[in-house]
């Protein structure tokens, strides 16, 4: 058994979602089985497991896959420890390694589940998917001759990925083409950047979307993004960490110290008392940090390594934090290589922000399902239940015990059944619109993607004629999208924005489509409004350091 000690891997939520979904079930079953055996004896437990396995093999009515049974037995054992220790089979472990190196083996396509099917939103430039001709709006209806009708989104993703150099046959339903189209594509190593978007908002504010974890290239990606934006005149920065599930801790340290001067504490890591890593303090080594005003965006998907960055910047008053309370993961995992190319991510330490606050949410007496979906999440307030508040460099109060609370709370619009129907219907309409299916609206037909387009802000405005076509389209699809004309009128701005985002994505790819989405984002808009506060706070913190 070998410890992979790059330093630590702070495991994010998304990377282990498949294992997590089943872990709680096996946890409960394991507890029941152990209660009837000799729980005080390792040999007794081993014999009980062996006996149970023999009973399963001899009597189970379905197919018995011993490798799968063993996998979830290990997961059940680990779930007794904490929600984030996990076992990875060879495929999952290989994918984790590739993601750490900002690579994956696949065809190079962005896909998403919508309206009960899995759709292609964009191919990645230069990848096998683009060369093969996969395009926006294609519905994946088959993989290697097998229908995807009864497959989950995760199962479709797993089927599309595979071994480098091996081909995969993708069958798609394409608007305007009467029969499904099958394309045979050879899988390759394709880039998986952690910064999916960076661009200017106006003349002085830059936006960086660090939303896809922390891999071995994250800090260099951020450096390049900042350099690009500064060349365009950036003087203020919005760093978006929403939905960022975490990743490599050393990359999180590097990102934090880009904005913190040398000597400033970034993180405290405390291992088991008496262990090999009792305590380690990480400090910035940057003699010339970035000094521009900074706003960090977070939400309940901001976890682990991204919370390390946010906590350090907030504790030193280097950034104003805007959005929703973060996930609350303060446990650190180390990766262990096991036999048969499998791996183990084991919690070996806890981390604390510079002020000494732990942000790990309580996971006792709750199921994994509730824990990961925040169903039992409580946000600590300034009361006796969490003790005295801790103070930032400027004396602002911050609290531990359940994620990082933003300095300025902004709730994103709540999802409703109606919004879900409007979202699905505008996507389906846009599929037909960009395929040229509406007479009089041929200017919206997209025949090829311009991945090099620089967004100006005036492209593909949604006219009243487009809205009229949408109303007529939905009127004929009431079984699929039960939305009334009055509901469309009441949500007209949302409908216009949604259709335009889809058309922009079809025309220029997901990066440019994402830019338009951010410009319509209430949290990002609030960040622009409070940038002057971030500037004042950063200046006050700098003045305080100079006096010390």
One-character DSSP codes across 185-215: EE-EEEE--SEEEEEEETTTEEEEEE-S-B-
Bridge partner residues of 147 (DSSP): 142
- Render pLDDT for 458-495 as a digit per residue (tens, 0 to 9): 999 999 999 999 999 999 999 999 999 999 999 999 99
The CA-atom distances, in angstroms, between 484 and each of 112, 230, 374, 421, 478 are 26, 47, 33, 11, 8
CATH superfamily of 103-191: PDZ domain (2.30.42.10)
List phi, psi (to 5°) of 300.
-75, 0
* DSSP annotation of 365: T
SS3 435: coil
In this model, does residue 220 exceed pLDDT 60?
Answer: yes
Which region among 31-45, 295-309, 413-427, 490-504 has the lowest average model confidence (pLDDT)? 31-45
User: Among residues 304, 306, 367, 425, which one is catalytic?
Assistant: 304
d(CA 503, CA 509): 9
Three-class SS of 244-288: CCCEEHHHHHHHHHCCCCCCCEEEEEEECCCCCCCEEEEECCCCC
pLDDT of residue 43: 67
In this model, does residue 44 exceed pLDDT 80?
Answer: no
Mean pLDDT value of segment 222-228: 97
In this model, does residue 445 exceed pLDDT 60?
Answer: yes
Mean pLDDT value of segment 65-92: 80
Mean pLDDT over the full length of the chain = 85
pLDDT of residue 103: 62
One-character DSSP codes across 96-114: HHHHHTTEEEE--EEEEEE
Bridge partner residues of 268 (DSSP): 281, 352
CA 506 to the chain's CA centroid: 22
SS3 394: coil
Q: With cut-offs at 50, 70 and 90, classify the pLDDT of residue 98.
A: low
**Nearest CA to 392 among 233, 196, 523, 537?**
537
Describe the chain by its helix, strand, coil percentages, rounded to 5: 40, 20, 40
d(CA 254, CA 285): 9
Q: With cut-offs at 50, 70 and 90, classify the pLDDT of residue 444.
A: very high
- Render pLDDT for 349-400 as a digit per residue (tens, 0 to 9): 888 999 999 888 877 777 776 777 765 555 444 333 344 688 999 999 998 8
- Render pLDDT for 163-199 as a digit per residue (tens, 0 to 9): 889 999 999 999 999 999 999 999 998 888 899 899 9
pLDDT of residue 169: 97
Q: With cut-offs at 50, 70 and 90, classify the pLDDT of residue 85.
A: confident
Cβ neighbours of 498 (radius 10 Å): 24
Long-range contacts of the stretch 72-77 (C-beta < 8 A, 24+): 72/22, 72/23, 72/26, 73/26, 73/30, 73/49, 75/19, 75/22, 75/23, 75/26, 76/23, 76/26, 76/27, 76/29, 76/30, 77/30
The yes-or-no answer on residue 315 being catalytic is yes
The yes-or-no answer on residue 285 being catalytic is no
More confident site: 284 or 76: 284
Mean pLDDT value of segment 137-166: 93
| CB-count exposure of residue 386 (10 Å: 0-12, 13-18, 19+) | middle
pLDDT of residue 494: 95
pTM across the whole model: 0.82
pLDDT of residue 388: 67
User: Among residues 122, 326, 329, 425, which one is catalytic?
Assistant: 329
In this model, does residue 6 exceed pLDDT 50?
Answer: no
| CB-count exposure of residue 60 (10 Å: 0-12, 13-18, 19+) | exposed
CA 503 to the chain's CA centroid: 24
Q: Which residues of 431-440 are buried (b: 16+ CB within 10 A; e: fewer)?
A: bbbbbbbbee
In this model, does residue 206 exceed pLDDT 90?
Answer: yes
* Overall fold of domain 195-341+349-410: 2-enoyl-CoA Hydratase; Chain A, domain 1 (3.90.226)
User: Among residues 89, 138, 299, 315, which one is catalytic?
Assistant: 315
> Apex CA 446: angle with CA 197 and CA 130, to 5°?
60
More confident site: 306 or 103: 306
pLDDT of residue 5: 31
pLDDT of residue 141: 97
Every domain of the chain and the residues it spans: 2-85, 103-191, 195-341+349-410, 417-508
């Amino acid at each position: 058994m070998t410890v992979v000690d790059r330093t630590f891997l702070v495991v994010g939520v998304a990377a282990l979602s498949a294992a997590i979904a089943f872990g709680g079930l096996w946890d409960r079953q394991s507890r029941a089985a152990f209660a009837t055996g000799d729980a005080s004896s390792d040999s007794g437990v081993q014999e009980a497991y062996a006996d149970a396995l023999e009973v399963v093999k001899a009597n189970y009515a379905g197919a018995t896959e011993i490798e799968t049974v063993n996998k979830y037995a290990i997961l059940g054992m680990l779930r007794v420890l904490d929600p984030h220790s996990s076992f990875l089979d060879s495929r999952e472990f290989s994918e984790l390694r590739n993601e750490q190196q900002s690579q994956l083996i696949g065809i190079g396509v962005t896909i998403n589940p919508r309206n009960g099917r899995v759709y292609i939103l964009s191919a990645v430039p230069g990848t096998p998917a683009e060369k093969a001709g996969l395009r926006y709006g294609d519905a994946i209806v088959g993989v290697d001759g097998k229908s995807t009708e009864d497959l989950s989104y995760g199962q479709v993703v797993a089927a599309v990925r595979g071994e480098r150099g091996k081909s995969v046959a993708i069958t798609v339903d394409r608007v305007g083409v009467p029969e499904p189209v099958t394309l045979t594509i050879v899988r390759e190593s394709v880039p998986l950047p952690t910064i999916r978007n960076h661009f200017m908002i106006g003349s002085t504010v830059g936006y960086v979307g660090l939303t896809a974890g922390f891999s071995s290239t994250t800090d260099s990606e951020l450096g390049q993004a900042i350099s690009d934006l500064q060349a365009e005149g950036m003087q203020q920065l919005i760093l978006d960490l929403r939905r960022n599930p975490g990743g490599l801790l050393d990359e999180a340290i590097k990102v934090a110290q880009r904005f913190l001067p040398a000597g400033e504490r970034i993180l405290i890591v405390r291992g088991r008392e008496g262990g090999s890593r009792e305590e380690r303090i990480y400090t910035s080594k940057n003699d010339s940090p970035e000094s521009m005003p900074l706003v960090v965006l977070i939400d309940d998907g901001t976890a682990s390594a991204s919370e390390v960055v946010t906590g350090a910047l907030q504790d030193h008053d280097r950034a104003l934090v805007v959005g929703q309370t973060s996930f609350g993961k303060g446990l650190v995992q180390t990766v262990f290589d096991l036999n048969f190319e499998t791996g183990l991510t084991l919690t070996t330490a806890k981390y604390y922000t510079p002020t000494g606050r732990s942000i790990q949410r309580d996971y006792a007496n709750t199921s994994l399902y509730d824990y990961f979906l925040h169903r039992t999440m409580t946000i600590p307030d300034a009361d006796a239940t969490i003790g005295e508040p801790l103070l930032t460099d400027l004396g602002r109060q911050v609290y531990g015990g359940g994620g990082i609370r933003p300095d300025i709370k902004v709730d994103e619009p709540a999802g409703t059944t109606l919004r879900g129907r409007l979202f699905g219907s505008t996507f389906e309409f846009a599929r037909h619109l960009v395929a040229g299916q509406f007479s009089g609206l041929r200017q919206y037909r997209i025949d090829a993607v311009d991945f090099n387009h620089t967004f100006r802000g005036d492209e593909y405005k949604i006219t009243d004629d487009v809205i009229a076509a949408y109303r007529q389209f939905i009127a004929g699809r009431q079984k699929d999208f039960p939305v009334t004309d009055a509901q469309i009128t009441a949500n007209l701005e949302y409908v216009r924005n949604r259709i335009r985002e889809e058309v922009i994505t079809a025309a220029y790819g997901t990066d440019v489509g994402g830019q338009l989405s951010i410009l319509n984002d209430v949290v990002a808009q609030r960040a622009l409004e409070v940038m002057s506060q971030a500037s004042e706070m950063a200046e006050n913190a700098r003045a305080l350091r100079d006096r010390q």
